[in-house]
């Protein structure tokens, strides 16, 4: 089913970001996660839902957790799917860790009626690198969304830690950006990027710029910098990036004209922090503006629009 994305008559487009659901077998914690998502969706009425990875938890160290990862995924996205809201997903490091491959899980994703996810090019690294366009009042592209598969663990034996967005994915992004800019007009539209594992620049922005929100754990990025952020700065179209992965970080800060944002961890079936409720990040674009608004909606109903400042060295 085709779900063309378009700005509303009031010139807004609202995205709800859910991240790190870690859905397993539908137990009590998973049901808490579903109730939270339903409450957020009913309060915000978004035009698009984006799941930024670790939607399901298939285990670690070779120990499967999901009894049926296909059904677990269907259950995890049910809140958006049953409401007929278009939704997109990027995979995280735990979605396909055991028992299922990314291609197999993508087949389940694409079987849903209301997803706008795409498999993406097979010749580049990962599954689920794709671009979506949002149409304006004239029917032309007025905003763009990029989705990247940030991988799992490093495959190189001498480099330990998380994977990184590879050079052929960055080349793909540059080409997609060039095509859009040539057809629309250079940098006349805002673009956003979604991936699971944060870029190294998430640590840099915390260390060197004013940030808004909370940092209660290390930035668990790849140990090498593959240059995606540099490509974004050079292409000049992306104004915001959104990731998950670190469950008790939710801050954002601006670096070289790009706002680097964490989501707010949504799932109850994983680690968190006392006094740090689960929630979601909301993103609102306005047609004709190269910027966006963003806020958090938490499980207790709290809406956080202006978060406490973190300044370097403070």
Hunting for tokens 């939607």 — which residue is that? 55
Tell me, rounded to whole angstroms, the distance of Cα 159 from its chain centroid.
Answer: 25
Query: pLDDT tens for residues 58-77?
Result: 877 656 678 899 999 999 99
| pLDDT score for 98 | 85
Provide CB contacts within 8 A for 91, sequence distance 6+: 53, 55, 102, 105, 126, 127, 128, 149, 196
Express each pLDDT in 154-188 by its tens digit: 677 787 778 889 999 999 999 999 999 888 865 67
Query: From start to end of 151-299, where are the E strands?
Result: 191-194, 211-212, 238-243, 252-255, 258-262, 279-286, 292-298
Handedness of CA 288, 235, 244, 97 (dihedral sign): positive
Ranges of beta strands (E only) in the chain are 5-6, 12-18, 48-52, 59-60, 63-64, 87-90, 130-135, 141-147, 191-194, 211-212, 238-243, 252-255, 258-262, 279-286, 292-298, 303-304, 309-310
Q: DSSP 3-state assignment of 287?
A: coil
Beta-strand runs (E) in 85-237:
87-90, 130-135, 141-147, 191-194, 211-212
Residue with tokens 């996205």: 77
pTM of the model: 0.96
Burial class of 167 by CB neighbour count within 10 A (0 to 12, 13 to 18, 19+): middle
Cα distance between residue 218 and residue 43, in whole Å = 32
**Which regions of the chain are under pLDDT 50?**
none
Provide the token pair at 271.
């680690």
The predicted pLDDT at position 187 comes to: 60
Determine the Cα–Cα distance for residues 98 and 295; give it in Å rounded to an integer.
Answer: 34
What 8-state DSSP symbol labels residue 61?
Answer: T
Distance CA 294, CA 313 (A): 25
Instruction: Specify the pLDDT at position 308.
Output: 63
Q: Which of 252, 280, 245 lies closest to 41, judged by CA?
A: 280
Q: Is 36 left (phi over 0), alpha (psi -120 to 50) or beta?
A: alpha
Q: What region, left, alpha or beta, does residue 169 occupy, with left being phi > 0 and alpha being psi -120 to 50 degrees? A: alpha
Q: What percent of the chain has pLDDT over 90?
A: 83
The pLDDT value given to residue 22: 96
Which 8-state DSSP code applies to residue 290? S
Of 46, 193, 195, 55, whose CA–CA distance to 132 is shortest? 193
Helix (H) or strand (E) holding 209: none
């Amino acid at each position: 089913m085709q779900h063309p994305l378009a700005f509303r008559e009031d010139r807004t487009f609202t995205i709800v970001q859910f991240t790190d659901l870690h859905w397993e077998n539908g137990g009590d914690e998973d049901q808490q996660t579903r109730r939270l998502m339903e409450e957020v969706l009913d309060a915000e009425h978004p035009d698009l839902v984006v799941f930024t990875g670790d939607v399901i938890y298939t285990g670690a160290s070779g120990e499967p957790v999901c009894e049926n990862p296909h059904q677990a995924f269907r259950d995890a996205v049910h809140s958006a799917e049953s409401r007929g809201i278009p939704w997109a997903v990027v995979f995280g490091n735990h979605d396909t860790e055991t028992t299922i491959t990314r291609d197999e899980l993508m087949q389940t994703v694409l079987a849903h009626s209301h997803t706008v996810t795409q498999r993406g090019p097979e010749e580049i690294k990962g599954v689920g690198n794709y671009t979506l366009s949002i149409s304006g009042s004239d029917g032309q592209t007025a905003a763009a969304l990029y989705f990247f598969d940030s991988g799992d663990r490093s495959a190189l034996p001498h480099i330990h830690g998380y994977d990184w967005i590879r050079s052929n994915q960055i080349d793909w992004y540059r080409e997609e950006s060039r095509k859009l800019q040539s057809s629309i007009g250079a940098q006349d539209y805002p673009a956003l990027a979604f991936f699971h594992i944060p870029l190294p620049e998430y640590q840099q922005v915390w260390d060197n710029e004013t940030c808004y929100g909370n940092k209660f754990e290390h930035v668990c990025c790849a140990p090498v910098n593959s240059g995606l952020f540099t490509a974004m700065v050079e292409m000049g179209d992306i104004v915001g990036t959104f990731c998950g992965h670190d469950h008790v970080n939710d801050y954002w800060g601006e670096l070289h004209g790009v706002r680097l944002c964490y989501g707010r961890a949504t799932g109850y079936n994983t680690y968190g922090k006392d006094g740090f409720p689960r929630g979601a990040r909301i993103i609102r674009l306005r047609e004709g503006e190269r910027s966006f608004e963003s806020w958090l909606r938490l499980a207790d109903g709290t809406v956080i629009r202006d978060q406490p400042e973190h300044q370097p060295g403070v």
